[in-house]
Homo-oligomer: A and B are copies of this chain.
Amino acid sequence: MPLAAIIGGGVIGSAWAARFLLHGWHVNFYDPAQYSDRVLHGVLDKARRWVPEIYDALPEEGSLTLCASIADAVAGAEWVQESTPERLDIKLPVLKEIQASCLERAIVASSTSGFMPTELQTGAVRPEQILVAHPYNPVYLLPIVECVPSAIVDPATVDRAETILSDIGMKPITLGAEIPAHVGDRLLEAVWREALWLIKDGVATTEQIDDIMTHGFGLRWAQKGLFETYRTAGGEAGMKHFLEQFGPCLQWPWTKLTDVPDLDEPLINRIVEQSDLQAGGRSVSELENQRDANLVAILKALRQQDSAAGAFLNRLDAARD
């Protein structure tokens, strides 16, 4: 079995440990400051309870070793995952210590949600060994991981990173460029910012905003993303027609306060090309059927659960009995 080293033992580091262990890796675990037995075992318990539910079978669980130092933890590891607090003055010394003892071929990945790999590589002995592998909470359940190399990281290293992340049940998305906060957190930040305005101005409460998501576009995005949702909604006229209609919206009053990209012909064309590729020949009618079947499956599944949308449907049915 291969070996991973987890450096940083908060909720994110502990969930990385759970992911590697449950997918058959051995794990060396070290926390420089905030180690909590309760956090680690709380996360492991949850992961052991839930992860087997979504797979037909899992490999034999790896063994977990609590280590007394970074040097001990990283020795012999193929993968080192750094999940220390989101401060460069903490991360850079930790990365330096990791590189002093880890294999030259090891991949040293950071869970950072904000920093770019170039920042993390500053002053490193082998900067080309460091990249970003940014997961989403709960890390043991959500498959997504943003893989962000800088220009100096060898494509073969990126390939190997993708292979290893896939091996532990993750869906790696390797970004085309490094940027602060990567992709997902920028989208989340945009929503968060707008939500803060809405609350500040008394337009909606946290519960109302959450309900609008869980009974509305959240159900969409559990099964189709932003672009495929719009492609589907746009109908037979196609993505280009949809975008050209949508374009003027960006000039509407509610966007005037912000810096807005010009939805010009080149950008429209780029999105259309990418969206065509993504559709892989599926017609709008096929996309609609997928969407509806998925929404129904999710809603039916959520009715068996303690969930907002499910409870809503159950209440409605009960009221009609």
Contacts and interface: CB of A to CB of B under 8 A. Distances in A.
B175 A142 contact: no
A228 interface: yes
B184 A274 contact: no
B312 A171 contact: yes
Nearest to A278: B207
Q: How many copies of this protein are present in the complex? A: 2
Contact of A54 (B59, B205, B313): B313
A205 B59 CA distance: 33
A195 B309 contact: no
Contacts of A154: none
Given A54-B300, A222-B223, 12 more contacts: A11-B233, A54-B296, A138-B291, A146-B212, A191-B226, A196-B250, A196-B261, A199-B271, A214-B221, A218-B223, A223-B305, A290-B305
Interface of A: 11, 46, 49-50, 53-57, 59, 114, 136-138, 141-144, 146, 166, 169, 171, 173, 175-177, 179-181, 183-184, 186-228, 233, 235, 246, 249-250, 252-255, 257-261, 263, 267, 270-271, 274-275, 277-278, 288, 290-310, 312-313, 316-317, 320
15 contacts: A54-B299, A114-B252, A114-B254, A141-B292, A142-B215, A142-B220, A187-B213, A190-B191, A200-B267, A214-B221, A214-B225, A218-B225, A290-B306, A294-B306, A298-B298
